[in-house]
Amino acid sequence: MIALIQRVSSAQVVVDGETTGAIGTGILLLLGVQKEDDEAKARRLLERVLTYRIFPDEQGRMNRSLLDCGGELLVVSQFTLAADTGKGTRPGFSTAAAPALANELYEYFLQQAALQVTTACGRFGADMKVSLTNDGPVTFWLEV
């Protein structure tokens, strides 16, 4: 399971002209699900995301987590994160989970996240327009 996280001052997802999710200060998380992923990996990744210290403390150092600062989480499914880009000029997706498994784990991730922080989301499998104001910019790749 892969998460590309970005510290944002705001972010939103629009599908067919309708805003499906929006947050203020927090993390925009692009979530990629791979074939071998399961609920245990989803829980571990969520724990890392929520406790990853990317927000500034009183001295301006990245020393606070999303949980510490009370920020919000916007989760967007993105199967292209599971792409194999090692060869050639076209990505391969043989490591990406099948849509049924990916959607199941995406929904599970969202449910678990909502138990701990204010959580918004995109729409699985949709053509989404994601906009954000990246704070920093601060962007990290997390994988479990």
Q: Which of 70, 65, 63, 72 is nearest to 21 (CA)?
A: 72
Per-residue confidence at 31, pLDDT binned at 50, 70, 90?
very high
pLDDT of residue 92: 93
Predicted TM-score (pTM) of the model is 0.95
Dihedral pair phi/psi, residue 140, rounded to 5°: -135, 150
| Residue 6 falls in the annotated catalytic set | no
For 79-128, write each residue's pLDDT tens digit. 999 998 989 999 999 999 999 999 999 999 999 999 999 999 999 999 99
Angle (CA) 113-24-115 rounded to 5° is: 15
CA distance 46 to 41: 8
- pLDDT number for residue 108: 98
Residue among 6, 34, 55, 79 flagged as catalytic: 79
Pairing between strand 128-143 and 62-64?
unpaired
Domains of the chain in sequence order: 2-143 (3.50.80.10)
Q: Which member of 12, 78, 109, 119 is catalytic?
A: 78
pLDDT reported for residue 141: 97
Active site residue 140: no
Which is the catalytic residue, given 80, 85, 111, 116? 80
Q: pLDDT, tens digit, for every residue of 34-87?
A: 999 999 999 999 999 999 999 999 999 999 999 999 999 999 999 999 998 989
pLDDT at 5: 98
Q: Determine the pLDDT at residue 69.
A: 97
Answer yes or no: 19 catalytic: no
